A and B are shown apart, each in its own frame.
Chain A
Amino acid sequence: MNLIRYQDPELATWSPLNRLASLREEMNRLLDGSLAGFTGNVGLFGGWSPTVDVFQDKDNVYIKAELPGMKKEAIEITFQEGMLTISGERKQESEVREGESFRSERFFGKFHRSVSMPTKVDAEKIKATYKDGILCVELPKAAEAKAKQIEVTVS
């Protein structure tokens, strides 16, 4: 039996403060690092919540949602009372699966995201495209919401 306590060479100069600092660093790294990308996808109820970006220019509001591996038909987009909702279900491919799964990080199942519009939009003219696993929704701003340009003449 070994009576001398094993000491990690990296912690040779043991100081509680150092260790605390490195623990903090470790935690920051965990939160900033790649893990944040995964945990960020986990919804409160265990579903998945696709990543969404919102952009705008003079004429349109754009919503970009990352929905890799969907069937176009399985994506549902609705617009109601200034709120755009993207929902749907991602299914595992139905083919018969034999063999074992070794790593399973992808989410399957239902999802639901709603985005409220920063301005009034013309609901009749909303367009959407789906390419490379990215859904892009274009919402033209309503005429009254567009910024009016007032020309000031200097006399």
Chain B
Amino acid sequence: MNPVAKTLERNVEEPVSRMPSWDLPPANIREERDAYLLELEMPGVSKNGIEVTVENNELTIVGHRGDTEPQGEVIYRESRHGDYRRTFEIDTSIDTAKIVAKMEQGILRLTLPKAESIKPRKIQVAD
């Protein structure tokens, strides 16, 4: 496995004792030729409720749930309250300045472009 993906895959887990009522969104990560694609499921979060930050080679995604609660009393509940939060470790081979985020029906899609320096390069043979 490629080292970039390895670090990206490693989820930065916080000690459970310090963990507040965050909800850990399920994630899919895929590598494409020029970028890594990260998908997170965050139902109830709109475009405005998303915060993506990169700090110290850690990519943190926070999703604030909007007001999706219907009125009235609860008869039965399975859903969780609280914000979504997940942190991934990324390394320098990702061009953090060019990360693109898109939110659609509760799915956040992040495109993490690979830095130019690590992309495969085709070298022309000089005549």
Contact = CB atoms under 8 A, between A and B. Distances in A.
Contacts, number: 132
A9 interface: no
Contact residues of A: prevailing secondary structure: mixed
A66 B58 CA distance: 28
Contacts of B42: 68, 133
Interface residue tally of chain B, by bracket? Answer: 35 or more
A47 to B, nearest CB: 15
Can you list the 4 inter-chain pairs with the closest CB atoms, starting with the nearest?
A: A133-B106, A57-B72, A68-B106, A62-B70
Interface of A: 29, 33-34, 37-38, 40-41, 51-58, 60-62, 64, 66-70, 97-107, 115, 118, 130-134, 136, 138
27 contacts: A29-B16, A37-B24, A37-B80, A57-B71, A60-B72, A62-B70, A68-B43, A99-B30, A100-B1, A100-B30, A100-B31, A101-B31, A102-B31, A103-B9, A105-B27, A106-B27, A106-B28, A106-B39, A106-B41, A115-B76, A131-B68, A132-B45, A132-B46, A132-B66, A132-B106, A133-B105, A134-B106
